[in-house]
């Protein structure tokens, strides 16, 4: 999972010409509080996964869906250039069962949201 997220974050950042500190600033705008650039850097380097409170603001800042960002079944929700770039590297299949997490579930009830395991 961390490898997939790392690649998707790098692809999305590359599309915008951003580095982790700029992404942190964009997330700050979305949530209205300080975001540590080193935390964002750890996501981009694949060292950590973002907590649920950051998934939706992260996706919004990058202009992608939370599903594309966090789930292997989500490449069709990305901008076309990112879908093609990432799908091949991650070995994703479009015919796998889709798991969808609504953005409101991530914000309103994070304790109930369960991310798939085994990725």
Query: What pLDDT is stored for residue 99 in this prediction?
Result: 34
Q: What's the pTM?
A: 0.62
Provide the CA 96 distance to its chain's centre, in angstroms. 19
pLDDT tens for 58-98 read 999 999 988 888 887 655 445 555 545 444 444 433 333 33
| First-to-final CA distance of the chain | 5
Give how far Cα 44 sits from Cα of 6, 54, 94, 111, 114, Å. Answer: 5, 13, 25, 25, 22
Could you say which of 1.10.260.40, 1.10.1040.10, 1.20.1090.10, 3.40.50.2300 is the CATH number of the domain covering 2-108?
1.10.260.40
Residue labelled with tokens 């309103």: 108
Residue labelled with tokens 């015919």: 95
Q: Which residue has the higher pLDDT, 106 or 31?
A: 31
Query: What pLDDT is stored for residue 110 in this prediction?
Result: 44
Q: Which residue has the higher pLDDT, 113 or 26?
A: 26
Q: Which residue has the higher pLDDT, 88 or 31?
A: 31
Query: What pLDDT is stored for residue 82 in this prediction?
Result: 52
Local confidence band at 116 (pLDDT 50, 70, 90 cut-offs):
low
């Amino acid at each position: 999972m961390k490898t997939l997220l790392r690649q998707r974050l790098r692809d999305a950042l590359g599309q915008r010409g951003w580095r982790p500190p700029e992404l942190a600033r964009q997330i700050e705008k979305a949530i209205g509080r300080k975001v540590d650039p080193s935390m964002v850097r750890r996501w981009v380097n694949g060292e950590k996964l973002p907590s649920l409170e950051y998934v939706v603001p992260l996706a919004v800042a990058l202009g992608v869906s939370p599903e594309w960002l966090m789930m292997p079944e989500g490449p069709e929700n990305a901008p076309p250039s990112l879908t093609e770039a990432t799908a091949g590297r991650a070995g994703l299949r479009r015919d796998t069962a889709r798991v969808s997490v609504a953005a409101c579930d991530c914000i309103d009830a994070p304790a109930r949201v369960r991310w798939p395991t085994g990725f």
